[in-house]
Structure 1
Amino acid sequence: MEKDVNRPMYPEPIWRQDTAFPPFPKLEADVNAEVAVIGAGIVGITTAYLLGKKGHRVVLVDAGSVLNGTTGHTTAKVTIQHGLYYDELIQNVGVEKASKYVNANQDALNWMRKWVNEQKVDCHWKEEDAFLYTSIHENLDKLMKEQAAYEALKISGDFVQKMPHDFDSLGAVRIRKQAQFHPLKYLQHMLDEMKDMDIRIFENTVATQIKEGKKVRVITNEMHTIVSDFVVVATHFPMYWKGLYFARMYAERAYVIACKMKSAYKGGMYVNVEEPRRSIRSSIFNGEEVVFITGENHKTGQGKDTLLHYKELEQFASTHFKMNKYLARWSTQDLVTSDKVPYVGKMTKNTDNIFVATGFHKWGMTNGTAAAHLLTDLILGKENPFEDVVSPTRFHAKVDVKQWLIQNSDVAKHYIKGKAVFPTKKASQLQKDEGAIIDFGGERKGAYKCTNGVTHIVDTTCTHLGCELAWNSGDRTWDCPCHGSRFSYKGQVIEGPADKPLTYEHYIDEMDKPV
């Protein structure tokens, strides 16, 4: 199958291939605002938009390009069906809070649908039924429990024996009238609307410090200051250290392939119960229908060669569809909290004017929109029933303590494992387009040899807390198995919590000579 796949060499989300954003300036002077929003994904942009509609002066900044982070890598299902979730949620937080979670996400879906219709947004919004299915007899009981949770939470779902696409399913729980869309076209329209509001947007502007006070000061890496009454940290992984979020969440990666199929797609959005996880939906690209297949979840920096995950998805596509053209591949990173409920609200119980939104566990379209509405209400001093469900200061003794022990034991294991292994491979032994841990002058280093023969060498110790990084061959990055930081092969930070680049030691040619 490998010869027939014609896999794209580099990962690039399909969303960015048919959407062009005008460049935004870099912050090059001190500015004042009522609200500073850090992070220009769905949470940050929607929050800025909602506040702008209320007449507030907002400054929105992003460390990279607008919408090139997690939102730009999503599969963009707009649904309250969040996998095999609600039975466990009821066990963790009870029926009352679980109902508030459902209602907040349903309200978010309804708001998005209404906004798209009223604004006449061309974002390929399409209503679809969502299916949670299993192909294993032992998991039918899990589906029945999930259906019972739907009934307890008044979710309008039903159990079905057949789906439009079979996938060897033994049964599925269905929720009707969910949706899918093109997230960047949706948010591009929102950005266009913000031009008429008192909102300033800056990209390639890295916020590095927050100084608390009645007036909050956000300091950038170039020592410019944003002074505001409120700050919203919507940077996927919070860039502010307070709250110790790195110890309260873990990072998980998943992989996506986008293909044209020889046979017509029959409709529906799908996710299975068992591992390996598979999520399927269709979309429109350049006027033609394409199918997204997502899955192969694993903790960042852990597990098998990441290129194998793409191969597994390709095999699934070949088995259940007939691939006509392989258009794109990419991966995405999600943050998971101990109870699998996002953290949205005050950064800590003592920071009344600094807010955070993180930990959306793969369901950021509705959760992110619900978070933006909650953050807006908190800044405006309004009550919101979602607040106590997602409060970052909440504590559920049974699940929080258990998950804290599990996750931090895993961190300790990988910290020790990384320090105990010393490589024997040399830079000169690398093939083109190969990365590996190498012995470089008696020191452990990471090296990647480009297709042009140039080798890039970095220090593989994570700049966050010192764990040893692993090579990600599928995306050509260095990934941390402890807290999920990711770096380019030249050492630049791609994902936090790390905020400093790796030491870029050398790059050398075919003869191991410094260039």
Structure 2
Amino acid sequence: MADQHTEEKFSETAWQASVDLPDFEPLKDNMKTDVVIVGGGITGITAAYLLVQEGLQVALVEAGKLLNGTTGHTTAKVTAQHGLIYDEFIQHLGKTNARLYYEANKEAMAFIRETIDTHGINCDFRTEDAYLYATTPKYKKKLEKEAAAYEKLNIDGGILEELPIDISVKNALVMKDQAQFHPLRYLAPLVKTIVDKGGRIFENTTAVHVERGEEPSVITRGDARVQAKYILSCSHFPFYEGTGFYFTRMHAERSYVVAIKPKMAYPGGMYISVDQPTRSLRSANIDGEALVLVGGEGHKTGQGIDTHDHYNALQTFGEDVLGIEKQVNRWSTQDLTTLDNLPYIGHLTSQSSEQNILVATGYRKWGMTNGTAAALLLKDLVLEKENRYTSLFTPSRFYADPSLKHFLRENFDVAKHLVEGKAETSNKEMKGLAKDEGAVVRIDGKRKGAYRDKDGELHVVDTTCTHVGCEVNWNGADRTWDCPCHGSRFSYSGEVIEGPAEKPLQKEYKVKLPSEGVFPSDG
């Protein structure tokens, strides 16, 4: 039987359901090129697009299908309004760096607009105002501080007492003239340009290691290698960390989206709450149907309540605000947050032996502009051009406040889950699993993960994450095993979906339950 994970890895997103992308063959033979890019999301594709236009030979390798990761699961807001961030940046990084962050994202927005105009791309690009809103007195004060930061940084926006949409708020903060689009329809023509200009794209090609040198090589799981002058790691989590120890400097967070056809007319605008749990709204036109994407419910990967409850909460919110005529799609996504909330973009490490290995990661759920800004910076680093954002985003930076505090907190959290996971008990029995149900079970006193698929077949794995040994937990909404320590995710049959883990979970056995529901003996 085919692995159901292949068929149901994630619920198909509204973007994926409305676009047909070309297929590309896996890399089978060794090759040499100027630049090899690992990762087929917005950063990797945009970087490849930019570099082929500079006359460089480029190869892009993607572990799965292009745009099937975070970019394919985004809410696709093209904005420099990234939550409550500018007051924090002024306090911890200084006014100059806070302004630089804003300008990097504003320039990324301008690049997207320009690219759309240049190629005449039909991707439902719309200029919209973006709103943060508070529903409690505590966050009302935080929004007032953020508004003061806007004023200090000359950001076009200001405090409002109410929203254009029917949500009761204490106050709101608008950032004028932001945008939204259909991300896959935007990126598909860039993929075509890459190929037309001689770029090579390889799907189902997993990069697992780097062989360093004057011209380093990317080694793939199939033992093929790509040698290049530069390696760009644009995968969600860096596939190769060198001595950067990125897994200790970022944490993974999941969030959820429900695409609905509303009963009420949508007034325009993009909205996101600053209170927790987060609530996000934007409109989308998918094949002529007016939809609204209701998002939020963020939590650390592998931690928290039953994941189905997050979708239910978003449905309730959508019903309360707009009414729901029907639900069209639902999906979840994952992104990484760095110690100081700035992305890591630039040289992988400060070591001279790794200066031709570049990385882009840690977008904190704002990948449309941050990912584009990353591609623009990576292009200049490859071409050895000056770029005023190099120091701001360099991965080797360290701001004592808040980086040290966050480093200690995140790694204490990892240690806690490492210990608690080993001690966790389960009373769930394998023979009691219903179809399409998964759970942590005990077999001969050992912690295992079991999932009974829709055909009644059991898939049993060892729940020890292959990264640093934390115990994974079951995600019923996505049918995955998720690690609470560093965000690695595995299919129900144990295959790696997202890193930093590189190896699959150990498979214990795979059997078909008899029709009477009695589980056969282990022997």
* Same fold at TM > 0.5: yes
Segments of 4+ moved more than 6 angstroms: none
Instruction: Indicate if the aligned counterparts of 1:55 and 1:198 stay in contact, CA closer than 8 A.
Output: no
Q: Match of 1:267?
A: 268
Q: Match of 1:4?
A: none
Alignment partner of 1:512 is 2:519: yes
Q: Deviations over 1:416-454 (max 9, x none)?
A: 000012323221011122110112233221001112211
Q: Match of 1:293?
A: 294
Whole-angstrom CA distance in 1 between matches of 2:428 and 2:103: 55
Q: 376-385 or 162-171, which moves further after superposition?
A: 162-171
Give SS of 2:319's match: helix
Offset, 1:11 = 2.1
For residues 125-136 of structure 1, what are the structure 2 equivalents within 5 Å?
125-136=125-136
Q: 164-173 or 467-476, which moves further after superposition?
A: 164-173
Q: Match of 2:38?
A: 38
Whole-angstrom CA distance in 1 between matches of 2:139 and 2:300: 23
For residues 319-334 of structure 1, what are the structure 2 equivalents within 5 Å?
319-334=320-335
Q: Match of 1:460?
A: 463
Give SS of 1:444's match: strand
Give SS of 1:36's match: strand
Offset, 1:512 = 2.0
Whole-angstrom CA distance in 1 between matches of 2:286 and 2:509: 41
Letter in 2 for 1:270: Y
Q: TM-score, with normalisation over the residues of structure 2? A: 0.95
Q: Deviations over 1:288-319 (max 9, x none)?
A: 11000111110000011111111110110111
Q: Match of 1:344?
A: 345
Give SS of 1:416's match: helix
Whole-angstrom CA distance in 1 between matches of 2:448 and 2:248: 26
Whole-angstrom CA distance in 2 between matches of 1:252 and 1:444: 25
Whole-angstrom CA distance in 2 between matches of 1:481 and 1:453: 28
Q: 409-418 or 427-436, which moves further after superposition?
A: 427-436
Instruction: Indicate if the aligned counterparts of 2:343 and 2:362 stay in contact, CA closer than 8 A.
Output: yes
Q: Match of 1:175?
A: 175
Alignment partner of 1:438 is 2:445: no
Whole-angstrom CA distance in 2 between matches of 1:439 and 1:36: 44
Alignment partner of 1:23 is 2:26: no
Instruction: Indicate if the aligned counterparts of 2:162 and 2:168 stay in contact, CA closer than 8 A.
Output: no
Q: Deviations over 1:144-165 (max 9, x none)?
A: 1101111111111121222210
Q: Match of 1:87?
A: 87
Q: Match of 1:477?
A: 480
Q: Deviations over 1:347-402 (max 9, x none)?
A: 00112100000000011100100000000000101111111111000011121111
Identity of aligned residues (%): 48
Letter in 1 for 2:217: R
Offset, 1:88 = 0.6
Letter in 2 for 1:97: N
Whole-angstrom CA distance in 2 between matches of 1:272 and 1:59: 40
Tell me the number of residue pairs that the alignment of Structure 1 and Structure 2 aligns: 508
Q: Deviations over 1:45-88 (max 9, x none)?
A: 00010000100000000011111111111100000000111101
Give SS of 1:60's match: strand
Alignment partner of 1:397 is 2:400: yes
Mark the CA change 1:74 to 1:9 in structure 2 (over 3 Å): closer, same or farther: closer
Letter in 2 for 1:431: A
Q: Match of 2:308?
A: 307
Give SS of 2:94's match: helix
Whole-angstrom CA distance in 2 between matches of 1:227 and 1:442: 48
Offset, 1:10 = 6.4
Offset, 1:114 = 1.3
Letter in 1 for 2:78: V
Instruction: Indicate if the aligned counterparts of 2:241 and 2:348 stay in contact, CA closer than 8 A.
Output: no
Whole-angstrom CA distance in 1 between matches of 2:189 and 2:21: 10
Q: Match of 2:3?
A: none
Q: Match of 2:200?
A: 200
Q: Match of 1:224?
A: 224
Whole-angstrom CA distance in 1 between matches of 2:363 and 2:275: 20
Offset, 1:195 = 2.2
Letter in 2 for 1:482: C
For structure 1, which runs of at least 5 residues remain unmatched after alignment? 1-7
Give SS of 2:335's match: strand
Q: 424-433 or 123-132, which moves further after superposition?
A: 424-433
Whole-angstrom CA distance in 1 between matches of 2:237 and 2:11: 22
RMSD of aligned alpha carbons: 1.4
Instruction: Indicate if the aligned counterparts of 1:252 and 1:298 stay in contact, CA closer than 8 A.
Output: yes
For structure 2, which runs of at least 5 residues remain unmatched after alignment? 1-7
Q: Match of 1:100?
A: 100
For residues 382-421 of structure 1, what are the structure 2 equivalents within 5 Å?
382-421=385-424
Offset, 1:251 = 0.3
Instruction: Indicate if the aligned counterparts of 2:9 and 2:491 stay in contact, CA closer than 8 A.
Output: no
Offset, 1:231 = 0.3
Q: Deviations over 1:175-229 (max 9, x none)?
A: 1111000101111011111222121000100111101111111111111110100
Q: TM-score, with normalisation over the residues of structure 1? A: 0.97
Letter in 2 for 1:394: R
Q: 104-113 or 131-140, which moves further after superposition?
A: 131-140
